[in-house]
Structure 1
């Protein structure tokens, strides 16, 4: 039988990286280039250089999560209300300010109606 490839399980590269994370941290603190560290440990890790750099960022440098590519529409901070009009051009002149929105209340805005335009009166 020929040499059959050894089955690699999902997460094996991460486990190998985490096994050497202290050594990587010491080498980085000492000023070694990331590529040189990877070249020395590549055979033991079993992952590519791009994945190695992602793990360094995640587990060693702990890059700040700015929420730029957050999934599911999560928000870090609640939306701030728009500033109230001061009675200038086009604003209310009676001195009344807009009512304060309740926390968690839905702000007025665009609402999608999937049936819009389905009858003749909507198109005119």
Structure 2
């Protein structure tokens, strides 16, 4: 399970790097830095089998996912400045779960898959 999470994390990081070329936002760079830090910790967990590294990496993954959600919401608000309603759920629906934007869609699904496989691997290892 830990290796599956590692593969998902690496693939999602590569996809994120590709998408970053278009963004060039400070928050996107911070999101990337946090996620790469978590990836480094996860690699340490897989290599050394130290359970504490798994939990720290998973905590860092939570922070990185929060930053990604913030990017998603800010981007949607920028594209739809006068939209009423709950901006977070509207942003998730509009910006992620559409085929008009396939890269963020894939990035979002890989993020969810990585999140839950990393959690499962940390729980199994504990």
| Alignment TM-score, normalising by the size of structure 2 | 0.23
Larger Cα-atom Rg = 1
Higher RCO, 1 vs 2 (CA within 8 Å, ≥6 residues apart): 2
Could you state the TM-score of these two structures normalised by the residue count of structure 1?
Answer: 0.23
